[in-house]
Amino acid sequence: MNSTNRLQIPVVAFGCAIILTAVAAFSLTSARAADPAPTPATPAARLESARAEIALTRSNIVLTLEQLDNVRRSDDPHAQFQRFVEQLARMKELAKLTQERAQLMKSRGDAYFADWEARTGAIADPEARKQAEAGRAKRKASYDLITRQMQLARTNFTPLLSELEQIKTLLEGDRSKEKIAAAKDLFMQANWHCVAVQRALMRTEDELHVLATDLAGKEQGGPTGVK
């Protein structure tokens, strides 16, 4: 890489990291927590585990863009570029897990609430059945919001990853003014997709916590099979 042609990315374009500086700080330690944890035993614990997994993905997205932005001001641009490449690979792995989580939660959620509805209809006591139906409706609304936001994040992940891969390709080897200009434009686009993904994942985290708290604080009125 030519150290005289550094990538001059405007700081204003780095809005995703500016908005989420606390998340970026968290990522410095969490990005290395790769060892799989034991599967939590309760539905509430599994939801909290999913929330932590999403937070880790989200923090690594910010860290990836930070590593890219650091190329422009590093004393050793080549070494910093390699750090970006390594972080991008790590982020892609986490993005894949989150995308798989989106599909898994949707499929298991549909089955879970169908089972709950069948069991609720079999409750003989009218008052108990009414309470169970109200609980199911509230939790299904939360679960539906979670799956919608996860699908939204998944949709924006695709162009984000594509843009970052294109930037990586442009910055490999010798860099011309044309390559640098193209990388700047791609960085701006990646930044916007980053914000869209972050917003969707943050809403998902919040709703997962609400649902987990509800499940943990109440007696179950239906099956306990959500994972």
In a domain, 149, yes or no: yes
Residue 206 lies in a domain: yes
Establish if 223 belongs to a structural domain. Answer: no
Report if residue 202 sits inside a domain: yes
> What percent of the chain has pLDDT above 70?
75
More confident residue, 78 or 31: 78
pLDDT at 7: 53
Around 5, how many Cα atoms within 13 Å sit in the side-chain half-sphere?
16
Cα 185-151-115 angle, rounded to 5 deg: 175
**CB of 152 closer than 8 Å to CB of 196:** yes
Distance CA 206, CA 209 (A): 5
Residue 2 in this model has a pLDDT that exceeds 60: no
Domain presence at residue 6? no
Q: Is residue 3 part of a domain?
A: no
Total H helices, total E strands in the chain? 6, 0
Q: In angstroms, rounded to a whole number, what is the distance separating the alpha carbons of residues 174 and 116?
A: 60
Domain count, the chain: 1
Tell me if 2 is assigned to some domain.
Answer: no
pLDDT at residue 226 in the model: 39
- Residue span of the structural domain in which 209 resides: 11-31+41-217
Domain presence at residue 164: yes
Q: How confident is the model at residue 97 (pLDDT cuts 50, 70, 90)?
A: confident
- Predicted local confidence at residue 20, as pLDDT: 35
| Residue 211: per-residue pLDDT | 82
Q: Compute the distance between CA of residue 208 and CA of residue 2 in angstroms, rounded to an integer.
A: 46
Which pLDDT belongs to residue 39?
A: 57
Q: What is the mean pLDDT of residues 77-85?
A: 91
